[in-house]
Chain A
Amino acid sequence: MAPAACLNFASMMGQGSSFLVTLSKPQQTPSGFSIRYNDEVLLVTRVWEDTPMDTWNREHPTRQVVYGSHVISVNGKRNIPEMIIALQESCNIRMEVARSLETELLDEMISRDRKMWNPLVEEVFNSLPERHCNCCKNTSCAVCLEDFDDEMVLQLPCKHAFHRDCISVWLLNRSTRCPLCNQVVDDSHWSWLGQRVTGCGSSAVYMALSWFVMV
């Protein structure tokens, strides 16, 4: 075998066998996966159903992007902020992806964030809108199981609604997710808090964070 080929193979193994993923999609359509990143790595945390990414996975069973997949480059860019911009804005995405051995790192990032972000920040909870129950997706409160009765209820960004007192116990003590659809109630508080933390000049805390985006 030619030395060049050997070298190439070795570098591929070093990245845990990378492969190429190409997605073409209309403007403003998300690719359909969630990523988590810090200064060093960008890892996939979830692929959403019926999205361009999901379709790719079904059509390319040997090159699937799954939980823990490591995105190495996007449209030739290897720097993480540039990769994220490309993922958010480009209609033609060419990603180099490695079947990652880093799921342990990902699990650690998530559990560390859970500790930091769970429960929901009270400011975020207080910013959730109250709506008349007729405007909401569901007609009863999934926590107490009572039907809504011509009353004001608290609506989450996913449009599911609950009695304020019922959902507050869940969101402020247990989880940041909607009990019905499991959607994270508010992603924006990640960046909001991040800014606040950097504003304080506490770089150590800032460095400990990992970030979460859907693209």
Chain B
Amino acid sequence: MARNRLNKEWKEVQRNPDPDILLELDGDSFEQWRAVINGPQESPYEGGRFQLKILCSASYPYAAPQVSFETKVFHPNVNFNTGELCVDILKTDWSPAWTLQYVCRAVVSLLRDPNADSPLNCDAGNLLRSGDLRGFNSMARMYTIEHAMS
């Protein structure tokens, strides 16, 4: 199932690419994918290109893919060291009707709308929760320039 379905997704991505998402196979198997997403406009990530690593197990699409950032990003829902990210649709709210492209779009939305209530990066979460938007934006911007715009 996983292979046929991913093959289908692969063809669909080639037919209808999303201008903000480059999604491609990483290697020969359908297990590992690589995505490059554009930081959303009017966010501190604008202009940055962020690489994601996507792993699909044999139980995909019944089990969610594992997604992590390869590019360092300062964001409350992304672990700064490991790149692990916390987003409902990859955990409890996963549905097999989601595709890898949808998942990438959800990650772009997460960059646009951080959720400070369940932080994996406490520093980023605390800045947002204390209302220091300026502090948060400048930290996120600095790391975007340093790691995602080279």
CB nearest to A160 among chain B residues: B97
Contact status of A179 and B96, CB under 8 A, knowing A143-B61, A169-B62, A174-B62: yes
Contact B1 A182, beta carbon cutoff 8 Å: no
Among B8, B12, B95, the most chain A Cβ lie within 10 Å of the Cβ of B95
A170 / chain B contacts, CB cutoff of 8 Å: 62, 96
Q: Enumerate 19 A-B pairs (CB-CB under 8 Å) in ascending A order.
A: A142-B96, A143-B5, A143-B96, A143-B97, A144-B1, A144-B4, A144-B5, A145-B8, A145-B12, A166-B1, A166-B96, A169-B1, A169-B62, A173-B62, A174-B62, A174-B63, A177-B95, A179-B95, A180-B95
B1 / chain A contacts, CB cutoff of 8 Å: 144, 166, 169
B61 / chain A contacts, CB cutoff of 8 Å: 143
A143 / chain B contacts, CB cutoff of 8 Å: 5, 61, 96-97
The answer to whether the Cβ of A82 comes within 8 Å of any Cβ in the partner chain is no
| Closest Cβ–Cβ distance, residue B117 to chain A (whole Å) | 13
CB nearest to B12 among chain A residues: A145
Query: How does the 8 Å CB contact mask read for B117-145 relative to A, with 1 for contact and 0 for none?
Result: 00000000000000000000000000000
Contact A145 B5, beta carbon cutoff 8 Å: yes
| Closest Cβ–Cβ distance, residue A164 to chain B (whole Å) | 14
B96 / chain A contacts, CB cutoff of 8 Å: 142-143, 166, 170, 179
The answer to whether the Cβ of B20 comes within 8 Å of any Cβ in the partner chain is no
Q: Say what secondary structure dominates the interface of chain B.
A: loop
B contact residues vs A (CB 8 Å cutoff)? 1, 4-5, 8-9, 12, 61-63, 95-97, 99
Query: How does the 8 Å CB contact mask read for A169-205 relative to B, with 1 for contact and 0 for none?
Result: 1100111010110100000000000000000000000
Interface bracket on A: 10 to 19
> Bound complex: CA of A179 vs CA of B96, how far in Å?
6
| Closest Cβ–Cβ distance, residue B60 to chain A (whole Å) | 11
CB nearest to A173 among chain B residues: B62
CB nearest to B6 among chain A residues: A145
> Bound complex: CA of A144 vs CA of B62, how far in Å?
10
Contact A180 B8, beta carbon cutoff 8 Å: no
The answer to whether the Cβ of A146 comes within 8 Å of any Cβ in the partner chain is yes
Contact A179 B97, beta carbon cutoff 8 Å: yes
CB nearest to B11 among chain A residues: A145
A142 / chain B contacts, CB cutoff of 8 Å: 96-97
> Bound complex: CA of A143 vs CA of B97, how far in Å?
6
| Closest Cβ–Cβ distance, residue A170 to chain B (whole Å) | 6
| Closest Cβ–Cβ distance, residue A122 to chain B (whole Å) | 17
Contact B95 A182, beta carbon cutoff 8 Å: yes
CB nearest to A145 among chain B residues: B8
Among B9, B12, B61, the most chain A Cβ lie within 10 Å of the Cβ of B61
Interface residue ranges of A118-146 to B (CB < 8 Å): 142-146
| Closest Cβ–Cβ distance, residue A117 to chain B (whole Å) | 15
